Structure 1
Amino acid sequence: MGGLVSVLFLYGASGLFAPWWAVVMLLLVWLLLFVQACRWWTPRPQAVAVLPVVATVVWFAVILSGGLWLGWTWNGGG
């Protein structure tokens, strides 16, 4: 669960280089993964440990794809 909370930082910080609609979709994906982790907490604790890895791979794939094919660029720094 701590891993999922840590990955939430990546998802939230995506607003620096992704459009708002992509950040909302990423946060919805994170929320679904968190709900799944809560469901698996007791019956499948080993599977919960895999979800932060899945969340990181999904985030990286979305951000990389958006940067390469949709032209998302750095918007931070004023």
Structure 2
Amino acid sequence: MNEPISPWPFVGMAGLACTFFLYAASAVFAPWWVVVLLLVAWVLLLLVACAWWTPHPRRLPYVAVLSVLVWVGAVALLSV
């Protein structure tokens, strides 16, 4: 009949929501153009997550982890 609802898309979207605050808070220490690029990258990851919601629900937490790794990489490059 009906399959149970998978919790993984919700976990991934919650992770993306958390990383949005990391990306936005980067304006405190990063140049404006870096923050704009980070937010564009975040929106692209959000679009991927939305596209994968139904066909690949178990991949969404990995998108959130990728979002954290992108932010950490950008911050690491800024500190060089």
Return the TM-score normalized by structure 1: 0.85
Cα RMSD for the two superposed structures? 0.5
| 1:10 match | 22
Larger radius of gyration between Structure 1 and Structure 2: 2
Query: C-alpha deviations, 1:18-60, integer Å up to 9, x for none?
Result: 0000000000000000000000000000111111100000100
For residue 74 of structure 2, what is the amino acid of its counterpart?
V
Larger helix share, 1 or 2: 2
Aligned residue pairs total 68
Q: Matched residues, percent identical?
A: 44
Residue 67 (structure 1) shift: 1.3
Of 50, 57, 60, 2:72 maps to 60
Return the TM-score normalized by structure 2: 0.83
In structure 2, stretches of 5+ residues that fail to align are: 1-12
Q: Which runs of 4+ in 1 moved over 4 A?
A: none
